[in-house]
């Protein structure tokens, strides 16, 4: 896999898919007749919650690491993250034999810290603000010469995330709509690019919590908007867009739907009860968007990408 310096092409995504094969699960696409009846359309769920480390992040991390030069691999990689990206980078680095330096904030959940440690990564504990995290990352990079892997504003990461929708479209060949959640925009950008190239007639929809509707506002204003509050249950979607993801999303996404906390919890519960998979609140956001706008999707074949399944089963909202 080469290092990408521009928006991934169809060929780049195909190469990315080859490159990440040894490091990922080909996740199943599940369906449920009872959910179809509730939604009023045929829904195909691409289960990235069943991906390694429990999230699609594994695809982008594996792809970014695969593209490093041998010298870079020897010096190692670095990132900061409190969650799924940290685990994905740590596991990818372990599988590819690359030293990993992960800055995690003090308030990162112990379970995620332990997982990262279990993959053999070096953990650096920073303060909780984004400034604290970035300052410590800068220090680590200075000291080690490691390459920083951005969680989403990186074309190799985007090409990696695109492979989820590639598998979805290859499994279900006649989708009419695809819906993905938007946090930093890596999954949404990859989904939009692949769908645009391979299935140009498919409608591309993003979904986001109303409480952190920065992507919705950025989509309309054309600049990276911030969030005043971050208290959505969909903890994976609190991030704002990056320059690269904003440009791709503005160009290729048709629409962004925002949903309430109640709608997210209701959708999450339906997925657990009817589809029988553990999906995190962020992962339920696209299905919540579909249910909110049922009339518009009526009778259609809709693909939905579950971002992940990392949730504390002792702290469920229902």
**Comparison of 141 and 265: residue with beta carbon closer to a copy of itself:** 265
247 binds a copy of itself (CB under 8 A): no
281 binds a copy of itself (CB under 8 A): no
Question: How far is the C-alpha of 108 from the C-alpha of 24, rounded, in Å?
Answer: 25
| Residues 53-82, interacting with a copy of itself (CB under 8 A) | 54
Question: How far is the C-alpha of 233 from the C-alpha of 134, rounded, in Å?
Answer: 24
Decide the pairing of beta strands 122-126 and 100-105. parallel
135 binds a copy of itself (CB under 8 A): no
30 binds a copy of itself (CB under 8 A): yes
Question: How far is the C-alpha of 293 from the C-alpha of 179, rounded, in Å?
Answer: 12
Question: How far is the C-alpha of 45 from the C-alpha of 50, rounded, in Å?
Answer: 11
Question: Which of 73, 196, 210, 269 touches a copy of itself (CB under 8 A)?
Answer: 269
And the tokens for 90? Answer: 């740590």
Question: Least distance in Å: CB of 56 to a copy of itself?
Answer: 13
Question: Least distance in Å: CB of 82 to a copy of itself?
Answer: 18
And the tokens for 134? Answer: 């970035």
Q: How many beta carbons lie within 10 A of that of residue 205, not counting itself?
A: 25
CA dihedral for 64, 65, 67, 68, sign (positive or negative): positive
49 binds a copy of itself (CB under 8 A): yes
Choose one: 28-36, 134-142, 256-264, 290-298; the region binding a copy of itself (CB under 8 A): 28-36
The reply to whether 82 belongs to the active site is: yes
Catalytic residue among 57, 112, 166, 244: 57
| Residues 84-123, interacting with a copy of itself (CB under 8 A) | 115, 118
Inter-axis angle of helices 243-252 and 155-171, nearest 10: 30
And the tokens for 150? Answer: 């951005």
318 binds a copy of itself (CB under 8 A): yes
Question: Which of 71, 110, 295, 313 touches a copy of itself (CB under 8 A)?
Answer: 313
Write out the catalytic residue numbers: 57, 82
């Amino acid at each position: 896999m080469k290092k990408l310096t521009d928006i991934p092409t169809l060929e780049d995504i195909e190469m990315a898919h080859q490159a990440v094969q040894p490091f990922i699960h080909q996740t199943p696409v599940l369906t449920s007749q009872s959910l179809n009846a509730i939604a009023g359309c045929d829904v195909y769920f691409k289960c990235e919650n069943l991906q390694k480390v429990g999230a699609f992040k594994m695809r982008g991390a594996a792809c970014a690491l695969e593209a490093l030069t041998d010298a870079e691999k020897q010096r190692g990689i670095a990132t900061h993250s409190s969650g799924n990206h940290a685990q994905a980078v740590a596991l990818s680095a372990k599988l590819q034999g690359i030293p990993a330096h992960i800055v995690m904030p003090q308030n990162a959940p112990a379970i995620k810290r332990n997982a990262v440690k279990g993959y053999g990564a070096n953990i650096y504990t920073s303060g909780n603000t984004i400034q604290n995290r970035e300052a410590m990352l800068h220090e680590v990079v200075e000291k080690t010469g490691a390459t920083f892997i951005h969680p989403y504003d990186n074309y190799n990461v985007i090409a990696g995330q695109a492979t989820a929708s590639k598998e979805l479209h290859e499994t279900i060949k006649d989708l009419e709509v695809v819906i993905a959640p938007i946090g930093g925009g890596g999954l949404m950008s990859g989904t939009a690019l692949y769908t645009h190239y391979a299935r140009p007639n498919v409608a591309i929809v993003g979904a986001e919590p109303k409480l952190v509707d920065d992507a919705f506002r950025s989509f309309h204003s054309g600049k990276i908007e911030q969030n005043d509050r971050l208290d959505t249950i969909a903890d994976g979607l609190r991030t704002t867009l990056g320059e690269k993801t904003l440009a791709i999303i503005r160009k290729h996404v048709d629409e962004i739907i925002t949903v309430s906390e109640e709608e997210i919890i209701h959708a999450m519960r339906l997925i657990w009860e009817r589809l029988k998979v553990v999906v995190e609140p962020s992962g339920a956001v696209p299905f919540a968007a579909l249910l909110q706008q049922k009339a518009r999707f009526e009778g259609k074949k809709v693909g939905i990408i579950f971002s992940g399944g990392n949730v504390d089963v002792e702290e469920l909202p229902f």
